[in-house]
A = this chain, B = another copy of it.
Amino acid sequence: MIELDFSKSADGLLPAIAQDWNTGEVLMLAYINKTAWEKSLETGKAHYWSRSRQKLWLKGESSGNVQLLRAVLVDCDADTVIYKVEQLGGAACHTGHRSCFYRVVDGDTLRVEGRPLFDPEKVYRK
């Protein structure tokens, strides 16, 4: 198993960038600990550490929008990774947008680009 340098951050978490394996679009950034990293490599599905819920998070466990790993890249310092993924369900963001990065800086405002692909209230049943 490839070792990452989890000592680089105060909380032991490292950023993982999920990027569409085909188009190169950055879909989201979330955090991994050692368990999430190992689970991702073992299963071929992106796992993260949820900072809000403080638990291991299989991306798509609620929405079904699982991310299949097509390649995994490690940076020069072994403290950031890229998951090149096939995004099932079309959208990575909990807002229903394809990418979490759907807002562009436009002077002093944020301009929303594109429209949600799903309705979060229907996908995440409360």
Give the interface of A toward B (CB within 8 A): 1-2, 8, 10-11, 15, 17, 19, 23-26, 28-29, 41, 51, 71-77, 80, 82, 93-95, 97, 100-105, 108-110
A15 to B104, CA, bound (A): 16
- Chain B residues with CB below 8 A from A97, complex form: 76
Of B29, B94, B108, B109, which contacts A17 at CB under 8 A?
A: B29
Bound together, the chains give a CA A73 to CA B1 distance in angstroms of 34
Minimum CB–CB distance for A80 against chain B, Å: 5
Alpha-carbon distance A75/B11, docked complex (angstroms): 21
Nearest Cβ on chain B to A81's Cβ, whole angstroms: 8
Q: In the complex the two chains form, is A74's CB within 8 Å of B23's CB?
A: no
The docked-state distance in angstroms from the alpha carbon of A104 to that of B72 is: 6
> Are the CB atoms of B95 and A76 closer together than 8 Å?
yes
Complex alpha-carbon distance, A102 and B57, angstroms: 27
Q: How far is the CB of A120 from chain B (nearest CB, A)?
A: 11
A100-B75, A103-B74, A110-B2 known; A25 and B24 CB under 8 Å?
yes
Q: How long is the Cα–Cα vector from A93 to B108 in the complex, in angstroms?
A: 31
